[in-house]
Structure 1
């Protein structure tokens, strides 16, 4: 078991302590070449911290703490429509210092897989917002919504399943017309023939963004009629 894995669990009960005792430690804990400390070095460090009343985990060198955070918080977060927002790892809610250190790893290195059925894209467009809101409930990020979408573009995967539903798709296209950056973010996986419809409809919405919404809907309904004649799943 890796050193970080051995260290993580025993120290969870020490998270909330706020002692500011200064701890000295050996740089041998994590050398430049990536080697780890010996058991005797770790035992000595733990004894020093316990004597000073310092939370053991928070007194570890930053490079070791970051590896612990990575082991604990980075994962593939699966979201369904029953989830209004992702559930944050419990460790992020323990104290401000841990949230500040571990949150960036959570959002940069985790993936968020949204499982969408029947082209319910209106919910899909809220995924970025729900993640940002969950993160913001722990620590306020100095980032705008547009910047957030660009930042998370490669971290969010849309998995579409089930036969397409035109009513759902229209709701998605309406949201996309209002917030095109959100509609284009993330990776969308579709059957080839559904992707052709998906891409064509979005191009129509983008190209007619200066037109009244009722005109755009007329064009989209014409597309719908043509598609439904070839594929009954789009009725």
Structure 2
């Protein structure tokens, strides 16, 4: 019995996949309600939801809480350029791309105080930048800066800083060094909600720490991208030993 139920929801998933591929349901179109689809396939809503879960995992269908199931647009990948600490300008500024920016003043606690190397309770500013292509989010950046280093225009949303935020670049002054730590992991509940992905989807996580000439941390950025929507490229620059060349 279990085998036939499992087979049935895969059959339904295959049928819906074929309809989506054939264009019977268009990108961004809402699918019929789960009840209507269950009636159409003469199965329980539990079986129908298992079929939709297969399509959600495959990235064909997106479930938006309270609204229903929608056909996903094919994702265009964006590129993160390591070393420069920015999204590739060509993919970041497509006509359909936009970024929303929110700034919040807060006190550095535990993890944040450690990232910025400041005493617990120090005043910092958080900039949350969410990048979207159409209605699909494709990147989340949380930028933290010591309050005294925040340029005035950054809080006012001046165009220079909006452009930097669109590329997830440095918001403050150019750093002397930037260290980027990359990992693949499951999203936090906040990231899953902002990026509209499942809790078991993989995100590419980049922690970028920028320091000045004195070694002070001037900016700490936590970046999260859905794994299927990002490519990251890192270029290594080899330092040539001038003494050897002279010899």
Q: TM-score, normalized by length of structure 1?
A: 0.30
Higher strand share: 2
**Larger Rg: 1 or 2?**
1
Q: TM-score, normalized by length of structure 2?
A: 0.29
Higher helix share: 1
